[in-house]
Amino acid sequence: MRIVISAFLGLSLAACSAAAPDRFLIEPVTTGQTVKTSAGTISVMTVNLPSYAKETGIYVQNQTSAIVAIPKADWADDTERAMRLHLVRSLADMTGADVASDPWPLGGVPEAEVRVDVEQMYVDKSGIMRLSGQFSIRRDRAESRNRIRQFDIETRAAAQTPAAIVDAHGKAWQQLADAIAKSL
């Protein structure tokens, strides 16, 4: 009986591990770029993604123009969380400000709050990473510094492989962080 259970467990584990997708992370990028801002504290409040981009799959446009997940390739983290934390790190590196994601972990309120709403986030059938939408910046006590900006970012994926597509996402996310930093 033990042999049968052991064999069954071994086959079950082998089947599960063979079907598991590869998981990919966006690697942090340090550009060395410095952007001056009067905001000493910044909160990245929310990052809202289209429903397909919230899923674990990494999406591309196929030859029939459908947006489909790459087989056996998933994000290693919740995509909204990963993008929010990427923006936090990038904005902190570029501005030198204290930057955190919501809820604000320090006393008081942040001097600037950032919200990102993404319309599109995929690599199209020609290999172009498309990241578009809008971001808003709300400045505490400085109505004249509030901003809403549209963004349309394109980067080329070096190849149609999951790693190259993830790298193109990282470059696009960094360009978005640059645009936000310059608007603070």
Local confidence pLDDT in tens for the 184 residues of the chain:
455 444 444 444 444 455 788 999 988 777 778 999 889 999 999 999 999 999 999 999 999 999 999 999 999 999 999 999 999 999 999 999 999 999 999 999 999 999 999 999 999 999 999 999 999 999 876 566 788 999 999 999 999 899 999 999 999 999 999 999 999 8
Are residues 157 and 11 in contact, defined by beta-carbon separation less than 8 angstroms?
A: no
Phi, psi of 67 (to 5 degrees): -95, 115
Residue that the structure tokens 């919740």 belong to = 78
Q: Which domain holds residue 90?
A: 22-183
The CATH number that applies at residue 61 is: 3.40.50.10610
Q: What is the pTM of this model?
A: 0.85
Please indicate, yes or no, if residue 99 is contained in any of the structural domains: yes
Q: Residues 42-52, buried b or exposed e (16+ Cβ, 10 A)? A: bbbbebebbee
For residues 59 and 122, the answer to whether their CB atoms sit within 8 Å is: yes
pLDDT at 32: 79
Residue 106 lies in a domain: yes
Structure tokens at 40: 């000493």
Question: Distance of CA 107 to CAs 41, 141, 161, Å?
Answer: 11, 17, 45
